[in-house]
Amino acid sequence: MYDHQSIFRVVRTVMFLLYLLFAMTALSVTAGESSPCDPRLTGSSPNALSYQFRGDSCEGLYASNSRFRMLTGTLRVVSFVERFDDFDLDSGQKLMVDWSVPQPRDVFLQAQSLQAGLYYRMDTKRQADESRYVWPLTILRQLSISRNNLGVLGWASYKLSNGMVKDVYLPLRISQNPSTETSSPAYQLVIWPTQELSEVYVSVATLDADGSPKAFILDGKALGYGYYPENRGIHFEIPKPSVPGIYYLQIGAVFVKGGVVNVEYWFYHKG
């Protein structure tokens, strides 16, 4: 009888082969969009706080029945940061969002509420020569969204020598006072399950030339929290690799009601 780690290893291989089948002909929908607005999101009842274009970003509340909510799957990463300081909504100071890239590419930033029932999103696309986004807190302040209820992601698309294209997460550094930046030995992640889980397993590996996992730094490590309710963020850390580069991340989970889910990502470690 196979244990859960063995099942996830088999699923990992199958998913990689399927990805190779489609990667040559399909690009990320997000990366192909010229507007930062997510077309799957429908703004809530029209008002100043509804999801809409706001100069250099799209931000606000979206309808709970938006197509996005039907397509996001049972488990997804909603935050991947290197540093995310607490912030003062009433200080008047904007948030500085910084990132590093392996090669210049347009970067996509996305923030979302981690508070169940509050359907907030912010999306922006930054040019390849940028490495910082100055984020006004106007909407966050009006919605009273604090650091603990906010997940933020950054990513860019990269192509391997075999032509495979994949979005690569860029661990973000977020602060109102970036000059006080301190180093952390780990990256901070938040995942969001839409069903209750009995356990979560995390793997991190180097990448082979074809994009498959090569040498594992973590291999199916259980979080061991004991309780993973649905529609609530699960926070955990992964150690920073010792060598700069693009790495493989796999998150597997077992549902309380039976069955497993497995999601895979790439991320960049600047060293």
On the CB side of 59, CA atoms within 13 Å amount to 22
Q: Is pLDDT at 6 greater than 50 in this prediction?
A: yes
Q: Is pLDDT at 4 greater than 90 in this prediction?
A: no
Phi, psi of 34 (to 5 degrees): -85, -25
In this prediction, residue 12 has a pLDDT band, given cuts at 50, 70 and 90, of: low
156 has which bridge partners? 168
| pLDDT for res 114 | 96
Distance CA 150, CA 163 (A): 35
In this prediction, residue 73 has a pLDDT band, given cuts at 50, 70 and 90, of: confident
In this prediction, residue 64 has a pLDDT band, given cuts at 50, 70 and 90, of: confident
Q: How far is CA 83 from CA 105, 229, 249, in A?
A: 22, 25, 19
Distance CA 132, CA 110 (A): 14
pLDDT digits (tens, 9 = 90+) for 28-55: 333 344 679 999 887 777 889 999 999 9
150 has which bridge partners? 113
| pLDDT for res 28 | 38
Q: Is pLDDT at 24 greater than 80 in this prediction?
A: no
- Give the chain's mean pLDDT: 87
Which candidate, 108, 105, 95, places its Cα nearest to that of 35? 108
pLDDT digits (tens, 9 = 90+) for 109-119: 999 999 988 99
| pLDDT for res 75 | 95
In this prediction, residue 218 has a pLDDT band, given cuts at 50, 70 and 90, of: very high
| pLDDT for res 42 | 79
Distance CA 155, CA 51 (A): 21
- Residue 211 in contact with residue 164, Cβ under 8 Å? yes
- The fraction of the chain above a pLDDT of 70, given in percent, is 84
pLDDT digits (tens, 9 = 90+) for 119-137: 999 999 999 999 999 999 9
Site of tokens 């850390």? 237
pLDDT digits (tens, 9 = 90+) for 181-215: 677 899 999 999 999 999 999 999 999 988 889 99
- Residue 97 in contact with residue 172, Cβ under 8 Å? yes
| pLDDT for res 103 | 94
Q: Is pLDDT at 66 greater than 90 in this prediction?
A: no
